[in-house]
Structure 1
């Protein structure tokens, strides 16, 4: 019985998460529209047009793509990776046989550098390196997904010391007993492409690397480098594995391939070269950026309410009169107590969310949705179709928290806490 109850709670939480995910997408469109409306006026509000671009590029379009691709894209292997937004990403153009203890030394011997994990620090470093045109040999790559998980690791080669141009390849360990369509067994799948410049994504308008159209050239570059580094590397090719096609990747860049899939056999590498690989990244224990952002915003909101409560009590102590309000001396303390309760509730939920209580994350999502809905209802009931004014900040923060906590990264982090007390 407890197991059945747990499964029922899990299904309920999943349905609630789906609803919150869609609600976040709808509210993000509304927020972007109101931001543009506020920005189309002379003076400093024009800066809000830049905010509008940021909302559309990094919140609205990615959320819309994620919702739509869950409907029309198949959830099985089709030889293409996916972006974090659910769009089709780079093609899978390489397969390998061998263990990690053979793959890592082979890549290093071929002149490749293991890419750093993408974090706030390394992400900022690659931005600075790109702007200053400084070398960053281990620059991180954006996450792509295969087998419903991001790459296990990636390797790259800078070109002329510039992080804007580089060879790079992502690797995914295949699931146990998984076979390629057609029945071939491989241990790793990889997607190699060449970054030719930095530009805007065609589909999301985000700043991203633009890849060269001929992905076969990058595939051949990887294979030939491995063979030059060690003659024990063997290669066989599955011709016509995927039909040759012209298409676009997740950034909107044109890609062209003949559809051939080389299988690189590393099992013949000698023991002398099979040095221990770099330690794999540990299971994520720190919250993702989305969860941290929501926690900071909610904590600031809670502390702000505590500050306002302090002013309310101070006004009561000073005998502050509220025009037109009967019993003002009773109103101020009541407001202060209510604000303290709200603030403590916010702070408690923030702490519980950071300890990976999934129900606390869902509760904060619902509170943020309620805050945004209150603004919408107020404008609707008052027939207010003008500019939003001062409520834009509170509405924006509510929508941003909802988007952050309903994101795939935040959901996965909260749900993967296990069955211990930190779980949902």
Structure 2
């Protein structure tokens, strides 16, 4: 039985310690249980272990690369650039992946009244519950003066950064993804404050699994987290640039309730007092949060939906319908970077003697000798980089083994170069640049979104070929 585009069987866990197997949510607050399959993913469970090895290996490479950058930071014009690079690698690559590995060990994998960040840390507390279908939520929030947030894309991410720096209004600015029931939020609504994208009210919504009950046995259909962005700062745990939330999340909860009840008399609210123990804690960004533990249940079943209202729909992985099966940006970025890197390296090999090389007689993009004959360089380029181009092509179209082989080749190449540099060989600036591109490639290929896309292809019997 499906409800709002969902089924009782959810997608596989994205935790790196778990096998690629679908799960079924249990009853009230219980943990999800693996579904045993004789075919489909059952034939590919060994891939999960290989995925985990690469996931961990790439994390180690990122820390080593950060060390190499720090070793090269001398008092020169490149000091600031290298330190910024060190921060970027640690904040956006190394530390998030380390959290992803560690949180699979110490963060509970069952409902505890809190969302999780995409790297596994505890996110924002859940302080709202809803009864009603998705169209009624959209209708109610729109009438109450809330604006649906844009999905997180490269374009929307750049726009919110520019808007925050220049203090330009961006009413539909995206919110960061948080995870509940192993799904990112289905959608989010927000209210910008005085045209400043750095300050806003926002609410994330997650559909509950079919048949799922709150601890205590209450049936609801949606859980939500309402918080207020008070400004922009650095994450306490990863040092990433992020929005900081106001400490008193109950004030934001009450603001949401006030706006929806004032906008439509058909909305009713029942308060579950002391649903959780009142507490002071921190969210996934390290911001202090405080709540009294009450959980309001907002009943929207009597809300009339306007004729012709758009039904966004919710997929089985909690995303808006129409996005399921789309190639994730991580796959696109990895393939584009791999192709660009291979083509530039081939050009440097072939035309290196015509001014591409640096003053030390080495290739500015790597360590290619200046005296290498053009015909030999051509064959080296063909034998080395054409397979990478082919693997990138197959990976782009869903090749499971092509992606894994590509990860292995790039990771082994990185590891060998890093070991050489750690032994005392000093890398050129071009070599560090080349390593950074390779690191971005394997990070994108081993990301959770890339793994989910591959997993979906396995479930549907697609993309299993090399």
The answer on whether the counterparts of 1:310 and 1:336 sit within 8 Å (CA) in structure 2 is yes
Q: 1:263 to 1:387 in 2, by over 3 A?
A: same
In the alignment of these two chains, the number of paired residues is 404
Residues 1:422 and 2:448 are matched in the alignment: no
User: Normalization by structure 1: what TM-score?
Assistant: 0.89
Q: 2:21: which partner in 1? A: none
Q: Which runs of 5+ in 1 are unaligned?
A: 315-328
Residue 378 of structure 1: which of 412, 420, 424 is its match?
420
After TM superposition, the structure 1 stretch with the greater mean CA deviation from structure 2, 385-394 or 351-360, is 385-394
Query: Residue 305 of structure 1: CA displacement?
Result: 4.0
Q: 1:290: which partner in 2? A: 330
Q: 2:396: which partner in 1? A: 354
Q: 1:173: which partner in 2? A: 207
Q: Following the alignment from structure 2 to structure 1, what is the Cα–Cα distance between the partners of residues 128 and 255?
A: 11
Residue deviations 1:142-195, cap 9 Å, x none? 101101010000000011111111100000111111111111100100000001
Residues 1:410 and 2:450 are matched in the alignment: yes
User: Normalization by structure 2: what TM-score?
Assistant: 0.81
Q: Following the alignment from structure 1 to structure 2, what is the Cα–Cα distance between the partners of residues 214 and 70?
A: 29
Q: CA RMSD in A?
A: 2.3
Residues 1:224 and 2:258 are matched in the alignment: yes
The answer on whether the counterparts of 2:65 and 2:418 sit within 8 Å (CA) in structure 1 is no
Residue 30 of structure 1: which of 47, 61, 64 is its match?
64
Residue 410 of structure 2: which of 368, 387, 391 is its match?
368
Query: Residue 331 of structure 1: CA displacement?
Result: 7.3
Q: 1:326: which partner in 2? A: none
Query: Residue 42 of structure 1: CA displacement?
Result: 2.4
Residues 1:190 and 2:230 are matched in the alignment: no
Residue 146 of structure 2: which of 93, 107, 112 is its match?
112
Query: Residue 4 of structure 1: CA displacement?
Result: 5.7
Q: Following the alignment from structure 2 to structure 1, what is the Cα–Cα distance between the partners of residues 261 and 130?
A: 13
The answer on whether the counterparts of 1:37 and 1:387 sit within 8 Å (CA) in structure 2 is no
Q: 1:198 to 1:312 in 2, by over 3 A?
A: closer
Residue 389 of structure 1: which of 419, 422, 428 is its match?
428
Residues 1:276 and 2:317 are matched in the alignment: no
What aligned pairs does 1:235-250 form with structure 2 within 5 A after superposition? 235-250=269-284
Query: Residue 5 of structure 1: CA displacement?
Result: 7.8
The answer on whether the counterparts of 2:330 and 2:450 sit within 8 Å (CA) in structure 1 is yes
The answer on whether the counterparts of 2:40 and 2:461 sit within 8 Å (CA) in structure 1 is no
Q: 1:398: which partner in 2? A: 438
Q: Secondary structure at the match of 1:95?
A: strand
The answer on whether the counterparts of 2:350 and 2:374 sit within 8 Å (CA) in structure 1 is no
Q: Following the alignment from structure 1 to structure 2, what is the Cα–Cα distance between the partners of residues 129 and 45?
A: 29
Query: Residue 360 of structure 1: CA displacement?
Result: 1.6
The answer on whether the counterparts of 2:351 and 2:374 sit within 8 Å (CA) in structure 1 is no
Q: 1:97 to 1:6 in 2, by over 3 A?
A: closer
After TM superposition, the structure 1 stretch with the greater mean CA deviation from structure 2, 391-400 or 132-141, is 391-400
Q: Secondary structure at the match of 1:246?
A: strand
Residue deviations 1:311-346, cap 9 Å, x none? 4899xxxxxxxxxxxxxx997645422321322211
Q: 2:75: which partner in 1? A: 41
Q: Following the alignment from structure 2 to structure 1, what is the Cα–Cα distance between the partners of residues 216 and 194?
A: 41
Residue 156 of structure 1: which of 190, 200, 207 is its match?
190
Residue deviations 1:88-133, cap 9 Å, x none? 0000000000011211111111111111111111111111111111
Where has structure 1 moved over 6 Å in runs of 4 or more?
A: none
Q: Which runs of 5+ in 2 are unaligned?
A: 1-36, 314-319, 355-370
Q: 1:401 to 1:99 in 2, by over 3 A?
A: same
Q: 1:319: which partner in 2? A: none
Query: Residue 377 of structure 1: CA displacement?
Result: 4.0
Residue deviations 1:72-93, cap 9 Å, x none? 1111111100111111000000
Q: 1:220 to 1:116 in 2, by over 3 A?
A: same
The answer on whether the counterparts of 1:101 and 1:274 sit within 8 Å (CA) in structure 2 is no
Q: Following the alignment from structure 1 to structure 2, what is the Cα–Cα distance between the partners of residues 79 and 357?
A: 38
Q: Following the alignment from structure 1 to structure 2, what is the Cα–Cα distance between the partners of residues 39 and 9?
A: 48
Q: 1:11: which partner in 2? A: 45
The answer on whether the counterparts of 1:105 and 1:277 sit within 8 Å (CA) in structure 2 is no
Query: Residue 304 of structure 1: CA displacement?
Result: 2.5
- Structure showing greater radius of gyration is 1
The answer on whether the counterparts of 1:20 and 1:406 sit within 8 Å (CA) in structure 2 is yes
The answer on whether the counterparts of 2:350 and 2:377 sit within 8 Å (CA) in structure 1 is no
